[in-house]
Amino acid sequence: MTRLSVNINKIATIRNARGGNVPDVTKAALACERFGAEGITVHPRPDERHIRYADVREIRPLVQTEFNIEGNPIPSFIDLVEEVVPDQVTLVPDAHDAITSNAGWNTLANKDFLTEVCGLFKARGIRTSIFIDPDPRMAEGAAACGADRVELYTADYAMEFPQGPEAAIARYLETAKAARACGLGLNAGHDLSLENLAYFVKTIPWTDEVSIGHALISDALYLGLEATIAAYLAEIRKK
């Protein structure tokens, strides 16, 4: 069954816009769990414009579900992951000045580096996932790097979905099949929403986890956090 991991970066963005500790990111993470989230995702960036390294350290011992840290494995990120030992680390090749993640890894061109990083984290018992574009070659490359999972970058799926769901998901389905054939687990994330989530999970039912932040937190402004998490879980579980 596909699990819902809530990315709480946007809550930290609101806090940081004003200073202080309102809204309280740690309190929000625990509320997400209480309302049914099956994991918490954070994506600290070097400039700490949303989630801060200190947030990660504070949240880690309190999370009771699954704790997933996303980020570009620069030295400070590697040190943080080794310090807090999350359940999962997701390697994302975002530049330091990227507004949001906008591409997956080329796992062929970066094989040596990704193999080294995967080995480092797996030696600590941390499940390691590589963020990739919908391309079967990238899934095969991730397996060759020693990853446990891949996370499909679903921005194109979300953008193309209104024009035709079947065409929008075709490359994702092909890549998901390639990942499964390589023995990799499968995650997905970026711009998944109440409009497109159910179709994705129904078409690729072996998706292990979806990580959703922007759309979910935005919906929570209208529906409330508890009702929004319930709505996303309902979409995942649609038959």
- Which DSSP category does 4 fall into? E
> How many CB atoms sit inside 10 A of residue 86's CB?
24
Which residues partner with 42 through β-bridges? 69
43 has catalytic annotation = yes
- Cβ atoms < 10 Å from Cβ of 94: 17
What CA–CA distance (Å, rounded) separates 239 from 37? 20
Q: Which of 70, 140, 151, 235 is catalytic?
A: 70
Please identify which of the residues 38, 151, 190, 209 carries the catalytic annotation. 190
For residue 97, CA distances in Å to 45, 47, 57, 65, 221 come to 9, 8, 23, 31, 27
Burial class (CB in 10 A: 0-12, 13-18, 19+), 137: middle
**Which of 33, 38, 43, 66 is flagged as catalytic?**
43
Let me know: does 27 contact 55? Beta carbons within 8 Å.
no
- Asked if omega into 23 is within 30° of 0 (cis), the reply is yes
What radius of gyration, in Å, describes the C-alpha atoms of the chain? Answer: 17
Kind plus residue range of the DSSP H or E element containing 150: strand 149-153
Q: For this structure, is 50 an active site residue?
A: no
214 is catalytic: no
**Residues carrying an active site annotation:** 43, 70, 190
